[in-house]
Amino acid sequence: MLTHTTPTTQNTITAEREPLVQVKHAVKAYGPTKALSGVTLDVYPGEVFGIVGHNGAGKSTLMRVLSGLDAIDSGSVQIGAVTSPSVKGYPGVRMAYQEGSLALELSVYENVYLSSRSWIPDRRWHEPASRRAAERLDQIFPDHGIKPTDYVDDLTLAERQMVEISRATIADDLRLLILDEPTESLSGSAVDHLYAYVRKLRSSGLAVILVSHRLKEILAVCDRVAVMKDGAVVSTHAADSVTEKDLFLAMGGEVVTERVGSRKRPAVADSSRPVAVKVPMPTVDGAQTWIVAHKGEVIGLAGIAGQGQEQVLDLLWRRSSDVQVSAALAYVPGDRQRSGILPIWNVARNLTITALPRLGRNGLRQVDKENSLVAEWVERLKIRGGAGASITGLSGGNQQKVIVARAFASDADTILLDDPFRGVDVHTKAELYQLIKSEAGKGRTIVWYSSENTEMQHCDRAYVLRAGRIAGELHGGQITDERIISLSFAEARESSS
């Protein structure tokens, strides 16, 4: 469980040291979209600096600038004594990317070699690359279960994220580590191990920039926190003198706080409604039962990540012979880069692809209907950039909005959601929770897996899975973080007593 340690105060950091990172009035635009509109901030050695803000606030763009991938249009960036990055970026700066930067067709140690050639000999590099990969994974994520020879394409999302983070730290001249949404794919123990390592880096005098939507983690780990909005830093706070609510208000105002804070328990669905989904599953005590969802019901698949939730969704999506599910299905995948977005298309074409059959007439497209549908969903979910924007030019959260909109814009009776709000800000989450509730009210059935237990509180019922078996079923107000954790570990406690 993530623990809070009192961070070094801002006064101590700034009084004794010069900034490692100095950004002044940085501006960056991609075509008509201004991603950065005058960012100014300092980051000091020996501090963990948090950055928060809604999707599209400019966080990832700023990180790309600091890592040397993108150049600013105006303003200045200085890291150490360097004001202009080389083709390899700024010296001593490494970044673990939110969407991942690993070559899927290569092994773990081959990926490490590609990004760390300056510290690994060119001749007979296989063994030292494997050793450094294994050592760093062991240091950050004990019991990770990843072999250096494993191919990245065969790893789970969580395992890939562990490799992504570990690889970023393998640099003999490391001075600044940038972590962009590092915990979105990680389970609780892996998160704790990561932040324990971050604290070690801080104590050794390195600087760490942490970008995250998880405000509790930000406040527990960081020394200072900057809030970004509309491409600029609007406020900076000492982490030990600010609350989650303060950050909510700085990011978007009271409406966000009220909507996220009002977690009304949904009523238990009417079991007299037709059964829309039925999946046979064993229980932890060996009995045979089913995961059942009735028409208009929101069903959660809860528990520790990797316990069979995604396999249930896969059975439904593939319409396995032993499951019952409606003919019209839509699926929001967990890995948006690999299975979600269509990178060569714009927002409009990504959004309408599943709706084309019902929008056409006599086999011909009706462009006016397509445009109307796109306009409706762009406005409804406030997709930044608009219909004509390149999907790859959007922030991760806005890409996710498009994928979710694509599913709900289809004529599917059942919607399958695989951790759909990973990397999505709290305001957008509130809007999407309302969307799920609204669509369920229209009779759609939703089966939803989330790696965040608190999201399951928006479900009518939740099945807690452990090792591919049902550990328990929770209804309405029973769906709490504590109950989910209790059921997730019940068998382990019993076996150890």
More confident residue, 168 or 1: 168
What is the pLDDT, as a whole number, of residue 342? 77
- Distance (Å, whole) CA 438 – CA 301: 20
Residue 227's beta-bridge partner residues?
Answer: 52, 235
- Distance (Å, whole) CA 266 – CA 57: 32
According to CATH, the superfamily of the domain at 10-261 is: P-loop containing nucleotide triphosphate hydrolases (3.40.50.300)
Is the distance from CB of 251 to CB of 52 less than 8 angstroms?
A: yes
Tell me the CB-side half-sphere exposure of residue 413, using CA atoms within 13 A: 13
More confident residue, 10 or 376: 376
- Distance (Å, whole) CA 496 – CA 40: 53
* Segment among 104-113, 351-360, 440-449, 453-462 with least mean pLDDT: 351-360
Q: What angle do CA 140, 192, 62 make, to 5 degrees?
A: 80
CATH 3.40.50.300 positions along the chain are 10-261, 275-327+413-496
Is the distance from CB of 287 to CB of 295 less than 8 angstroms?
A: no
- Distance (Å, whole) CA 399 – CA 395: 6
Q: Is the pLDDT of residue 7 over 60?
A: no
**pLDDT tens by residue, 258-288:** 333 333 444 444 567 899 999 999 998 888 9
Q: Select, from the ranges 14-18, 113-117, 326-330, 392-396, the one with the highest average predicted confidence (pLDDT).
A: 326-330
Percent of the chain with pLDDT over 90: 36
More confident residue, 126 or 461: 461
Query: For the residues 330-338, what does the mean pLDDT come to?
Result: 76
What is the pLDDT, as a whole number, of residue 261? 36
Amino acid at site 301: L
Query: For the residues 358-387, what does the mean pLDDT come to?
Result: 81
More confident residue, 207 or 99: 207
For 101-139, b/e burial (b = at least 16 CB within 10 A) is ebeeeebbbbbbbebbeebbeeeebeebbbebbbebbee
- Distance (Å, whole) CA 293 – CA 312: 13
Joined tokens for residue 392: 């790859």
**pLDDT tens by residue, 216-238:** 899 999 999 999 988 899 999 99
Is the distance from CB of 179 to CB of 210 less than 8 angstroms?
A: yes
Residues 6 or more apart whose Cβ sits within 8 Å of residue 2? 188, 191, 192, 195, 216, 217, 220
- Distance (Å, whole) CA 213 – CA 403: 19
Task: Work out the burial of residue 81: count CB atoms within 10 Å of its CB; fewer than 13 is exposed, 13-18 middle, 19 or more buried.
Answer: exposed
What is the pLDDT, as a whole number, of residue 19? 93
- Distance (Å, whole) CA 190 – CA 360: 48
User: 3-state secondary structure string, the chain?
Assistant: CCCCCCCCCHHHHHHHCCCCEEEEEEEEEECCEEEEEEEEEEECCCCEEEEECCCCCCHHHHHHHHCCCCCCCEEEEEECCECCCECCECCCEEEECCCCCCCCCCEHHHHHHHHCHHHCCCCCCHHHHHHHHHHHHHHHCCCCCCCCCCEHHHCCHHHHHHHHHHHHCCCCCCCEEEEECCCCCCCHHHHHHHHHHHHHHHHCCCEEEEECCCHHHHHHHCCEEEEEECCEEEEEEEHHHCCHHHHHHHHHCHHHHHHHHCCCCCCCCCCCCCEEEEEEEEECCCCEEEEEEECCCEEEEECCCCCCHHHHHHHHHCCCCCCEECCCEEEECCCHHHHHCCCCCEHHHHHHCCCHHHHCECCECCHHHHHHHHHHHHHHCCCCCCCCCEHHHCCHHHHHHHHHHHHHHCCCCEEEEECCCCCCCHHHHHHHHHHHHHHHHCCCEEEEECCCHHHHHHCCEEEEEECCEEEEEEEHHHCCHHHHHHHHHHHHHHHHC
Helical axes 426-441 vs 254-261, angle rounded to 10° = 50
Task: Decide if domain 275-327+413-496 falls under CATH 3.20.20.70.
Answer: no
What is the pLDDT, as a whole number, of residue 146? 92
CA 102 to chain centre: 16
- What average pLDDT does the structure give for the chain? 83
